[in-house]
Structure 1
């Protein structure tokens, strides 16, 4: 049974997602196997053939997938679509003529080859003529030696990925140095602190958020607000007609849509639309990450206690990147929006179940399997269930983002 995946975005110079690096684990007995993560990835890919489907995880983006020696020698990558993947040769492989020949053959079949965590060792020289991408961990190579590497690899038309980019300053430095792509968590941190003015559409969203925060949602008032804005009506109808949400019913009016969705789903819709509006000038990956976190936190929080309000988990995940979207400290922002005190506490890093659901989501984003295992044990979660929740969250976010895109 194929199971579990973490995805880490790779951005281009415009801070748009170019691809995702995928990291896999197998199941409850092998979520955190006692072998290297790269080797585990290769073995699991070999036995499962990606039955979940790459497109369910990456949408229309490429997938960077780590491969170890055995799977490269057996030409396993050739079972995948070359237009959707980049084959990463991990830095721990034993290099010899046979491996070089195998990788060259894979390249000749149309698969881009990437060298992961390039370490400047001579064993990689034979790969340079047929390598498409080289990934450089900026914490492992002295920065004064990197410009020469960039110049050399650019001469071979090789694209460069800077790994471990943690700040916007690092992003700018390596962008100017000539790197094409960037991997790290720099987008989750505000570049500068400045205030963004709320326009009419944003004010409408805040009005809806205020309504949705009340214990009893007045659907008549919601209807009155939404029908003032044709674009909101259009987006809600697109949202509800998504096959993932509504498989059978024909929606005849805005009021019909609201009643059909019910209070909880309407609150979710309002929250995600509000956030999309507030973040519209920021990279779309931030919104995608927020949606995945929202659904995952909703599922995990509800599972901790059947009496929990799943909307609290949903809001915790959805608003967790608000500081990056609005470029203001999270503590300042949450004072301006009508959310419950326990959600505010979780967003401000105060201990509790809601905070732990958010930490779990962040562990999945970083493929921190040890952190997942620790938190799973703390709350008596089955690790398989958490992986299922995260996979479900990725698929849900993809469908919802498609439904709420203005096209």
Structure 2
């Protein structure tokens, strides 16, 4: 049996990965399952813990899981490991005596407790000393309302989580208000405060990306650029000799690497190490997302030759699609350093062409937009299950690749 679980990352003030929120899904045909919240919670707990283990879904990070009033009172959270489970009380939970006793019991056992979409009233006052995290919805509340709510939380000594933060301005406002955790799409968008000068290493990596994206590809030029930077040379040799490529004999020189691998493969691993290095100061999730998109777009190009998309160009486009978040600049500005061709620019900036469509499909999967996934699958002449499996396979490939880069 296949379980469908969506996960959304939660970041800390430094934009490091703090946790994931796990969300129950009932396949692709039913975007909003026609089951009650209690059954959804029970099935999520069963699938995450009893099927694969919650750690496999979160990579050892914390998991925020929604619980209804009934599941809280039935102590369902106790089926999950306390060390990495955040018990999230849905906004529909009423502050009853039974709920208070159940939350007290969970706290005594060492669980972390959060309130979802919380809006304070006096009935919740006695709960606040038991609560570790309060989530507040930036789409539902104004800044003035958020300030008012925070002032009303007498006795609360925990942390605040800003939910549905989708712009840099909202992220900045949340920081100034004292929020510690952030959930939404702000991390995937440009965070432009001012233009920033490029470091020496960034210039090398961007120059490498420029050369491998050019039509007149020249392996000798790539080797010469790499030779100028010892760090890049080391990473390249380590990467090409890693288990990821499973070489029969060790490659000991840059020239040997260029000759042995050939044009298509050297383009791929140079693109990988450049992207991974440009994203070193950012959450690892961002680099893995870039590599996942790259592999996913490459697979779709290979499986759908009728679209006329070059798999190598599709791969590179997927990798470049998150450079705005990695370098805190607009993607259009970054691409001027790379001199990316029309196909890549159209795909990344305007989402045009076959590769633009592949990227739209990837984004639909990442945002768990089931209707768009179904529509894309039909256009690709694939089943929704096949499309999502391709993305999951790409994600596994990305973990292996980023571990070697």
* Residue-by-residue CA offset, 1:8-65 (whole Å, 9 max, x unaligned): 2222222322222223435466665334789636424324536445444433532222
- Quote the Cα distance in structure 2 between the aligned partners of 1:386 and 1:154: 49
CA deviation after TM superposition for structure 1 residue 248, in Å: 6.9
CA deviation after TM superposition for structure 1 residue 346, in Å: 1.1
Partner of 2:358: 357
Question: Is 1:330 matched up with 2:320?
Answer: no
Aligned length: 403
CA deviation after TM superposition for structure 1 residue 401, in Å: 3.1
Structure 1 residues 165 and 294: alpha-carbon distance in aligned structure 2, compared to 1, 3 A threshold: same
What is the TM-score when the length of structure 1 is the normalising length? 0.83
* Residue-by-residue CA offset, 1:99-156 (whole Å, 9 max, x unaligned): 4444433332222111111133566556433221111102223432322432454732
What is the TM-score when the length of structure 2 is the normalising length? 0.83
Q: Is the 8 A contact 2:190 2:331 kept in 1?
A: no
CA deviation after TM superposition for structure 1 residue 88, in Å: 1.7
Task: Specify the SS of the correspondent of 1:155.
Answer: coil
Q: Is the 8 A contact 1:150 1:177 kept in 2?
A: no
Partner of 2:376: 375
Q: CA RMSD in A?
A: 3.4
Partner of 2:150: 150
Question: Is 1:343 matched up with 2:344?
Answer: yes
Gaps in structure 2 of 5+ consecutive residues: none
CA deviation after TM superposition for structure 1 residue 219, in Å: 4.4
* Residue-by-residue CA offset, 1:286-333 (whole Å, 9 max, x unaligned): 434323332333333433337643222222222122233444433343
Gaps in structure 1 of 5+ consecutive residues: none
Task: Specify the SS of the correspondent of 1:157.
Answer: coil
- Quote the Cα distance in structure 1 between the aligned partners of 2:38 and 2:346: 37
Question: Is 1:202 matched up with 2:202?
Answer: yes
Task: Specify the SS of the correspondent of 2:83.
Answer: coil
Q: How does 1:110-125 map to 2 (within 5 A)?
A: 110-120=110-120, 124-125=124-125
Name whichever of 148-157 and 346-355 sits farther off. Answer: 148-157
Larger RCO: 1 or 2 (CA < 8 Å, sep 6+): 1
Name whichever of 35-44 and 105-114 sits farther off. Answer: 35-44
Structure 1 residues 44 and 381: alpha-carbon distance in aligned structure 2, compared to 1, 3 A threshold: farther
Partner of 1:6: 6
CA deviation after TM superposition for structure 1 residue 262, in Å: 4.8
Name whichever of 210-219 and 164-173 sits farther off. Answer: 210-219
Question: Is 1:22 matched up with 2:50?
Answer: no
Q: How does 1:38-187 map to 2 (within 5 A)?
A: 40=40, 42-47=42-47, 49=49, 51-69=51-69, 71-93=71-93, 96-120=96-120, 124-125=124-125, 127-153=127-153, 155-187=155-187
